[in-house]
A = this chain, B = another copy of it.
Amino acid sequence: MIRQPEPPAADTHDAEESGGGAPHPAVPVHAVAHNLIAVDAMGGDHAPAEIVAGAVAAARQLSNHIVLTGRPGVLRPLLARQGAAPNVHIVPAEDSVAMDEGALASWRRPRSSIAVACQLVRRGQAAAVMSAGSTGAIVATAQMRLRPLPGVTRPALAVVLPTRPAPTILIDAGAIADPKPEMLVQFAQLGIAYAQTAFGITEPRVGLLTIGAEPGKGNKLARRAHELLDEDPPHSGGLPINFAGNVEGGDLLASRVDVIVTDGFTGNVALKTLEGTAGFAASQLRQALGGTRAARIGTLFQRRGLTELADRLDAETYGGAALLGLEATVVIAHGAVRARGAAAACLLAADLADGRITERIRERLGPARHFLRRP
């Protein structure tokens, strides 16, 4: 089975970026495979130790190969400490991007661990990338070093909200602050492909995040996006969208739809608000439960229930955000992630690569565009 639908990329782009230096160290021959996941071992508050531990834990559950990019002298002893992991490899990257660096780092650091991970995709060696580095730097680096898929203007960031029975995907959660209305239709297609690939939802329902339930509600962007999403089939091309209309901030966790589309500004504010409120509720709860002796005794009876609740509100369980619409999916784990979260993000990257999400996005965005371009 061919897991990576793209043909290997020509190397011109790469050679230009590596600044005419020494040739790129090759991935060990036995690992050169289309099911390879490139992991930025140097990105994250607890990198590289926790990232290496998470990658090895994920590799033990996967038939995929994992390549860690970073400084070999640092990574080798960390890897050795984890015991045997025949499907985990190292590709050197001398440089790394600090957590407080933003988008500019993508230009300044062509040999950073995240840039090298993207280069493995460009060479056709890796099918997906995972990083727990600074989101701004990862998005900028990936946009610069990876090609967008046909029909995608800009990639978007998708996050998974812990709704039940099925999770809800929020897209864009922060990649593009000022998109055009047409791009929200692309985001819908990306989100649908994600819901299908990661959660097996056959025909995901799509909602538009706005204020007020009626079609005419919202700002200019949302009102125009509503019109475009309502077209069946979409005038811009692509497969039909199962558009369920407007949703509001209160619907993010209500499981009304499978995919919630919005601009990156609103999406990021909503996501951070959601996380902040969940954290606030949890800390208030701890105070309320710890306040009196009787309440503390009561807590003993409830430990299991509370642990389950905390797990559901814990982003680590959900693997991280996915940057969709490029020639490879880039999974971005939370910067504060430990081994467990890093492993979840690696598993998500492998799931998306194995589920051929890139091919699915091509299908969703592709054929109808040509049809519509006929004179």
- In the complex formed, the residue of B with least CB distance to A299 is B298
What is the count of identical protomers in the complex? 2
User: Is A294 in contact with B301, judged by CB distance below 8 angstroms?
Assistant: yes
Bound Cα distance A42, B102 (Å): 53
* Residues from chain B with Cβ under 8 Å of A280 in the complex: 253, 278
Choice from B248, B281, B282, B291 contacting A272 with Cβ under 8 Å: B248
User: Is A302 in contact with B313, judged by CB distance below 8 angstroms?
Assistant: no
* Residues from chain B with Cβ under 8 Å of A292 in the complex: 304-305
Q: A211-B269, A219-B265, A248-B268 are in contact. List 16 more A-B contacts (CB 8 A).
A: A177-B218, A178-B220, A248-B269, A249-B268, A252-B276, A269-B270, A277-B277, A277-B278, A281-B281, A285-B309, A287-B309, A288-B309, A289-B302, A297-B298, A297-B301, A298-B298
Residue A123 at the B interface, CB < 8 A?
no
User: Is B288 in contact with A305, judged by CB distance below 8 angstroms?
Assistant: yes
A222-B265, A265-B211, A265-B222 known; A277 and B306 CB under 8 Å? no
- In the complex formed, the residue of B with least CB distance to A264 is B211
* Residues from chain B with Cβ under 8 Å of A268 in the complex: 211, 248-249
* Residues from chain B with Cβ under 8 Å of A94 in the complex: none
Interface CB pairs A-B, < 8 A, 12? A177-B219, A218-B265, A248-B268, A248-B269, A249-B274, A249-B276, A253-B280, A254-B276, A265-B266, A277-B278, A281-B285, A287-B309
User: Is B304 in contact with A301, judged by CB distance below 8 angstroms?
Assistant: no
The 9 closest A-B pairs by CB, nearest first: A249-B272, A298-B301, A250-B276, A288-B305, A249-B273, A298-B298, A281-B281, A277-B277, A177-B219
Bound Cα distance A136, B264 (Å): 26
Which residues 241-272 of A sit at the B interface, judged by CB distance below 8 A? 248-254, 262-266, 268-272
* A contact patch SS: helix
- In the complex formed, the residue of B with least CB distance to A211 is B268
* Residues from chain B with Cβ under 8 Å of A325 in the complex: none
> Using an 8 Å CB-CB cutoff, how does the interface string of A185-223 with B read, 1 for contact, 0 for none?
000000000000000000000000111101000111010
Residue A300 at the B interface, CB < 8 A?
yes
Bound Cα distance A239, B289 (Å): 45
Bound Cα distance A365, B268 (Å): 32
Bound Cα distance A301, B289 (Å): 9
Bound Cα distance A274, B269 (Å): 11
User: Is B302 in contact with A298, judged by CB distance below 8 angstroms?
Assistant: yes
Bound Cα distance A313, B288 (Å): 13
A211-B174, A292-B304, A298-B300 known; A269 and B249 CB under 8 Å? yes
